């Protein structure tokens, strides 16, 4: 199974959709045209080395879990 990463694709998208600091990279901007659903932390300019450089990710992910 694919456990053990800090997060999966689905969570990366969910977090980005609920993040007020999402800042699309150029690449993310292009690929999000026509589809808001494609936002993901992977397309956020604050996402570095698979981590949120603003340290928002964990909080948002946690609040989603508690939904």
Fill in the DSSP letter of residue 51: E
- Supply the minimum distance, in Å, between the C-beta of residue 21 and ligand SF4: 4
Nearer to ligand SF4, 1 or 55 (CB): 55
Of positions 11, 13, 28, 57, contacts ligand SF4 by CB under 6 A: 57
- What phi, psi does 34 have (nearest 5°)? 85, -5
Query: Which residues in the 3-42 window bind ligand SF4 by CB under 6 A?
Result: 15-16, 19, 21-22, 41
Residues 6+ apart with CB under 8 A from 8: 2
């Amino acid at each position: 199974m694919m456990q053990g990463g800090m997060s999966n694709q689905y969570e990366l998208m969910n977090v980005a959709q609920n993040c007020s600091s999402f800042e699309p990279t150029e690449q993310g901007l292009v690929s999000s045209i026509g589809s808001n659903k494609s936002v993901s932390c992977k397309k956020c300019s604050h996402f570095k080395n698979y981590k949120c450089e603003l340290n928002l990710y964990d909080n948002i992910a946690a609040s989603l879990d508690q939904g």
